[in-house]
Amino acid sequence: MTEETVVTLAALKERVEAIFRKAGLNDTQATAISRVIIAGERDGCKSHGIYRIEGALRTVKAGKVKPDATPELLIEEGSAIVKVNAGGGFANAAFELGIAELARRAAKLGLAAMVINDCTHFSALWPEVEALTERGLAGIVMCPSYATVAPTGGNKPLLGTNPFAFGWPRQGGSPYVFDFATSVAARGEIELHRRAGKQLPEGWAIDADGKPTTDPEAALAGAMLPFGGHKGSAIATMVELLAGIMIGDLTSPEVLDYLGTTTLAPFHGELILAFSPEAFAKGRPGDPFARAEVLFEAIVGQGARLPSQRRFAARRTSESEGVTLSAAEIQQLERLLDK
């Protein structure tokens, strides 16, 4: 099965939406979830593209996410905190409901936060960060996951792969965006290695006895490791505190207790922080956007690349040429449509 097919983004979107509608998702849920999955494929982020459809459908089937949920916006006049209750649905629809109000408040107050509660979240965070940068705001987004990562010095899964993303708007160009798991790699990467029959790089995981392993099966049965040793371990813990405990939602070990498995998409909350660079820099010398450009130019000037440049290049190609899917991926989509 080595054949590949090029599919336009519009055709892929139609297929993915049809799969979710068939599985009982309402329009709000199906369109929002499809948007981020297509964005993953478009930007060459396979670990959060169509590969995620089956996990999302399994979660619907297991009754752990409400396919027909309607998220609810809960706002208090004057508050910097915008809350959205996802109503047990996917986070994507909740985010789309709250983003305009978050941006309005951040522009007015200088900074604002969106808290999403009671959601199932399985996607990459950069689509959300980019929704902020498109509105001229800087942003930080984070959420827990489920306990699959051992804290540095420990030997059992406790923390999540807890993604953490940041974005800074750039006039007339792609924003500065980074988005990564606080584990050495996203769990999706381990699963993709397992499916491809490939060994993991050293330093990604330990087995169930706490010994280093490069075998994806043993890693999935054991624990992943935080990136950067104690530093990643502490950042992952911060995510549990801010985007779990502080917002009154589940931490990664609680998510795993609730789900009883890592084969379903995790149920928890999410925290989105939005900043107006102009408001923070007001009264200080220099335009913050122009000063940021000097920094970016200096980074690139050393031969380094900015994060997300690979993604933006993949996006340009996909938008003009479509995306290439393997025969197995096309069969997967057909099978899911026929189910």
Catalytic residues: 47-48, 189
Q: Is 305 in the site for ligand NDP (CB under 6 A)?
A: yes
Q: Is 311 in the site for ligand NDP (CB under 6 A)?
A: yes
Among 15, 42, 187, 193, binds ligand PYC (CB under 6 A): 187
In sign, the C-alpha dihedral spanning 334, 337, 338, 339 is: positive
Q: Is 181 in the site for ligand PYC (CB under 6 A)?
A: yes
Q: How far apart are CA 253 and CA 123, in angstroms?
A: 19
Q: Is 145 in the site for ligand PYC (CB under 6 A)?
A: yes
Q: How far apart are CA 17 and CA 178, in angstroms?
A: 27
CB of 61 to ligand NDP, least distance (A): 20
Pick 166 or 267: Cβ nearer ligand PYC: 267
Q: How far apart are CA 127 and CA 61, in angstroms?
A: 26
Q: Is 231 in the site for ligand NDP (CB under 6 A)?
A: no
End-to-end CA, the chain: 22
Torsion of CA 268, 228, 307, 320, to 10 degrees: -60
Secondary structure E strands in the chain: 4-7, 72-74, 81-85, 111-120, 138-142, 164-168, 176-180, 205-206, 212-213, 223-224, 267-275, 323-326
CB of 63 to ligand NDP, least distance (A): 20
Pick 138 or 249: Cβ nearer ligand PYC: 249
CB of 122 to ligand PYC, least distance (A): 4
Q: Is 47 in the site for ligand PYC (CB under 6 A)?
A: yes
Summarize as ranges the residues that interact with ligand NDP (CB under 6 A).
Answer: 47-48, 121-126, 143, 145, 161, 163, 165, 178-181, 185-186, 189, 305, 307-311
